[in-house]
Amino acid sequence: MSLIEVKNLKKIYADEGAQTQALCGVTFDIQAGEFVAIIGPSGSGKSTLLHILGFLDRQTSGVYHFDGKSIDDYSDAELAAVRNQKMGFVFQSFNLLPRTSVYENIRLPLIYSSIKQSLWDGLVRKAIKDVGLEHRAEHEPSQLSGGEKQRVAIARALINNPRIIFADEPTGNLDSKSGAAVMEILQALNQKNGHTIILITHETYTAETAKRIISIKDGLIVSDRVVAKRVDAKDGFVK
């Protein structure tokens, strides 16, 4: 069974009587454990697709099954629970609480989880260690570099041990060295821990760190291919 299955997915936005079709009939499957990059230019529909896949929005028409269940069969409360427990998100803008420590930022999703509070500290410490920020645990975001902020965001996304991680332009605000470090972490999460990764990007080189690339343009899939030779983020990162 596919972790994600979408068939003829369409999304239309209406604004003051005008309609804009962001997705025009998208169909694909993603298996558990895949690392998939969705690539396309600005306005191609890739961010709209991520929002639907991540339960942040609903399609206008078409079918979306997550983990064998149609999104239409989830209540809003169930969508929120699945999003918190089975999905992790990493955004270009980091989305960290500004006057809150690294530790507290990473702990935040646990407050809304069913995980026993007695386990929180151990989970947070492990997540901090996994992204190499033990020496920054009590620092606030303003004291961190861009690459460190993104590593905090990745640790926060991992804290509930989600089935899937959505990374939306995770290197967009980073220099080449920091971008390489972030992509190396995502590759390791996929290769060593088996996390399913969906990467949204407009950069070909970044996309080629994935195992599979879905190219989207004008709301349609124009290609879906397995990467013959992946880029290893450890060998350098070109923006």
Domain extents in the chain: 32-58+77-234
Q: What is the mean pLDDT of the chain?
A: 90
- Tens of pLDDT, residue by residue over 93-132, are 888 999 999 999 999 999 888 889 999 999 999 999 989 8
Q: How far apart are CA 69 and CA 218, in angstroms?
A: 28
- The pTM assigned to this predicted structure is 0.89
pLDDT over 90, % of the chain: 65
pLDDT over 70, % of the chain: 97
Q: How far apart are CA 201 and CA 188, in angstroms?
A: 18
The region, left, alpha or beta by phi > 0 then psi within -120 to 50, assigned to residue 74 is beta
Pairing type for strands 212-217 and 220-226 reads antiparallel
Q: How far apart are CA 178 and CA 173, in angstroms?
A: 9
- Tens of pLDDT, residue by residue over 69-87, are 999 999 988 998 899 889 9
SS3 6: strand
pLDDT at 134: 93
Q: According to the CATH classification, is domain 32-58+77-234 in 3.40.50.300? A: yes
